[in-house]
Amino acid sequence: MTTLDREETRATGGARPGAGGRPLPLKLAVPAALLAGLALLVAFPPYGLWPLAPAGVALLAAAAHRRRLRAGAGLGFLAGVALFAPLLEWTNLHTGYLPWLLLSLLQAGYLALLGAATAWVSPLVDRHRAAWPLVTGVLWVGQEALRDRTPFGGFPWGRLAFSQDTSPLLRLAALGGAPLVTFAVALAGGILLTLAWRDWRQPAGLWRPVAGLAAALAAVLAAGPAVPAGVRGGGDGVTVAIVQGNVPRLGLDFNAQRQAVLNNHVDATLKLAEQVAAGTQRHPDLVVWPENSSDIDPLRNPGAGERITQAADAIGAPILVGAVLLGPGEGQVRNAGLLWRPGSGPDLDQLYTKRHPVPFAEYVPLREIARMVSSEVDRVRSDFVPGATPGVLETGPAILGDVICFEVAYDGIVRDTVTGGAQLLVVQTNNATFDVAEARQQLAMVRLRAVEHGRAALMASTVGVSGFVSPDGRVDGATGFNTAAVVVRQMRLGDGRTPATTAGVWPEVALAALAVAALAGAAVLRRRREVDPG
């Protein structure tokens, strides 16, 4: 064995040099990594080509297999940039290129870790080829578990599970939430890779493993539709109106238009009340306004409070208002969902304060250091204070599970409302600073949450896309973007728990633990082969 052969053996964890024993040539691995990122990208809304998500997983795993750790990390980073830079393009529409670039590179860094981990486990999957799909699946779950939590509470946008809103795999969310859906997608990608990574020049005896892997892939895709959708209903239902008032202009200066935005939502509700009085529209039991529908604190500004009271009294139903409230301290504010009842006004006992404000958008951690990177951080003049309790609101007609904007991406924040008794999921959001792609990506998350917890759900946006989602993930009454709309629907209430709701974080813990075990097993094999590379 030459010195070069020994280096290759060491880099690949002891795989024999020659046909089938080396990584893909770099001239193939680099395009494969870039194609992996692009395939993953178009799996997400607004493209929605969900079958390309497993293909992207397979391409990245093939590119990183048997490479040195640095090369695996580099290829993972390339795939991450190809995925996240265009996926998160909506973040630069009104804030400039720097925040978008920094966020995209940060997220790509997690795929770099995944690429390095994929390279690291190469000796394990070479030795136990049947385990390759399983190892691929758990590594993806482990990567997302880390990315969803770090830094500053994480940023779960772009999880594999959120690309599957029209996929048969979506129903697996009812069994194990988003982590199980991610695992199924990556498992399917691992099966594709295992099917492809073989010496096709020697076809003798190939048909049995190929047939077995093909059957396993078909079983994974068939598992989702076999899962029942929804849980038992808790009543006859409730009639809910979503009011999408729109804003005069898209962009960060929607705050400067706050009186106009409030007036838009009040006027749309008054028009709905006229239609109800004329008999052309059903009377809602509950009205939902989006996040930032009243950026004037209605508890401290009498004019704003009077306008909301006018709307609630006219429609004769409680309104869930998305409001920015001042305090509790000097220079602090709260992003809140506040119930406003007809005849009595604000119900301060039914107030939800957003638990996970967005770092560098709603508050600035390490402000002095962040200002050295960009003075744009000073656009955030007041830090939003996080709430301490789940968004469980007793409205009378229904118990709501309220989350605000990006909170729908976080597993625990949504689950806490259901375990707290929520019968209906509500996502209040403001997409005026983004675009229709971001809104559709967010709606895909709402669809997964509805299936995950067996609850009907709705998303109410200032500018769109708003809509209703049934417990099996179907969307009804979706509105257009950058337009005013009012949609009224009958919604079924739920009062049971799915296996995913009951299990909580444990499916993710179990799958991430398997990822750690795979990394440890690969370390043992590498150690042994360093001692005896033959």
Cα 382 to Cα 191: distance, rounded to the nearest angstrom: 50
Q: Would you say 428 and 320 are in contact if contact means Cβ atoms under 8 Å apart?
A: yes
Instruction: Name the helix (H) or strand (E) containing 219.
Output: helix 207-223
Cα 512 to Cα 516: distance, rounded to the nearest angstrom: 6
Place of tokens 């504010």: 333
Cα 382 to Cα 310: distance, rounded to the nearest angstrom: 30
Cα 503 to Cα 526: distance, rounded to the nearest angstrom: 35
Spell out the residues 6+ positions from residue 385 whose beta carbon is closer than 8 angstroms to its own: 328, 329, 332, 333, 334, 353, 357
Indicate whether 379 and 270 sit together in one domain: yes
Q: What are phi and psi for residue 52, nearest 5 degrees?
A: -80, -10
User: How much is the pLDDT for 95?
Assistant: 63
Output DSSP code: residue 184: H
Cβ-based neighbour number of residue 302 at 10 Å: 9
DSSP characters over 389-425: S--EEE-SS-EEEEEEGGGGG-HHHHHHHHHTT-SEE
Place of tokens 């690969």: 522
Indicate whether 269 and 317 sit together in one domain: yes
User: How much is the pLDDT for 2?
Assistant: 38
Residue 46 belongs to some domain of the structure: yes
Tokens representing residue 417 in the block: 């409302």
pLDDT band at 466 (very low <50, low <70, confident <90, very high): very high
Q: Would you say 74 and 26 are in contact if contact means Cβ atoms under 8 Å apart?
A: no
Residue type, 67: R
Whether 202 has a pLDDT exceeding 80, the answer reads no
Average pLDDT rounded to a whole number, residues 24-53: 97
Catalytic residues: 291, 354, 405
User: How much is the pLDDT for 351?
Assistant: 98
Q: pLDDT tens across 105-128, in order?
A: 999 999 999 999 999 999 999 999
User: How much is the pLDDT for 149?
Assistant: 96
Whether 136 has a pLDDT exceeding 60, the answer reads yes
Residue 10 belongs to some domain of the structure: no
Indicate whether 115 and 31 sit together in one domain: yes
Tokens representing residue 6 in the block: 């020994």
Indicate whether 343 and 419 sit together in one domain: yes
Average pLDDT rounded to a whole number, residues 130-148: 97
**Minimal CA–CA distance to 194: which of 140, 139, 150, 130?**
130
Residue 389 belongs to some domain of the structure: yes
Cα 55 to Cα 50: distance, rounded to the nearest angstrom: 10
pLDDT band at 531 (very low <50, low <70, confident <90, very high): low
User: How much is the pLDDT for 362?
Assistant: 82
Residue 57's domain comprises 26-198+208-230+505-531
- Angle, vertex CA 39, rays to CA 85 and CA 519, nearest 5: 85
What value does the mean pLDDT of the chain take? 90
Whether 412 has a pLDDT exceeding 50, the answer reads yes
Indicate whether 162 and 261 sit together in one domain: no
Cα 34 to Cα 188: distance, rounded to the nearest angstrom: 20
Range scoring the smallest mean pLDDT among 225-234, 318-327, 329-338: 225-234
Share of the chain above pLDDT 90, in %: 75
User: How much is the pLDDT for 215?
Assistant: 87
Indicate whether 324 and 251 sit together in one domain: yes
Indicate whether 306 and 437 sit together in one domain: yes
Residue 251 belongs to some domain of the structure: yes
User: How much is the pLDDT for 15?
Assistant: 41
Cα 249 to Cα 289: distance, rounded to the nearest angstrom: 18
Residue 435 belongs to some domain of the structure: yes
Cα 394 to Cα 99: distance, rounded to the nearest angstrom: 38
Indicate whether 516 and 426 sit together in one domain: no
Q: Would you say 487 and 467 are in contact if contact means Cβ atoms under 8 Å apart?
A: yes
Cα 131 to Cα 31: distance, rounded to the nearest angstrom: 26
Residue 142 belongs to some domain of the structure: yes
Whether 12 has a pLDDT exceeding 80, the answer reads no
Peptide bond into 328 cis (omega under 30): yes
Average pLDDT rounded to a whole number, residues 65-70: 97
Indicate whether 372 and 309 sit together in one domain: yes
- Number of folded domains that form the chain: 2
Tell me the three state secondary structure of residue 495.
coil
Q: pLDDT tens across 241-274, in order?
A: 999 999 987 655 555 588 999 999 999 999 999 9
Residue 320 belongs to some domain of the structure: yes
DSSP characters over 318-361: -EEEEEEEE-SSTTEEEEEEEEEETTTEEEEEEEEE-SSPPBTT
CATH of the domain at 411: 3.60.110.10
Place of tokens 């409001």: 323
Indicate whether 330 and 346 sit together in one domain: yes
Cα 126 to Cα 132: distance, rounded to the nearest angstrom: 8
Q: Model-level pTM?
A: 0.92
Average pLDDT rounded to a whole number, residues 281-297: 97
Residue 460 belongs to some domain of the structure: yes
pLDDT band at 330 (very low <50, low <70, confident <90, very high): confident
Cα 277 to Cα 359: distance, rounded to the nearest angstrom: 45
Indicate whether 221 and 252 sit together in one domain: no
Share of the chain above pLDDT 70, in %: 89
The beta-carbon contacts of 325-328 under 8 Å, at least 24 apart in sequence, are: 325/297, 325/299, 325/353, 326/297, 326/300, 328/385
User: How much is the pLDDT for 20?
Assistant: 47
Phi-psi region of 443 (alpha: psi -120 to 50; beta: other; left: phi over 0): alpha
Indicate whether 519 and 386 sit together in one domain: no
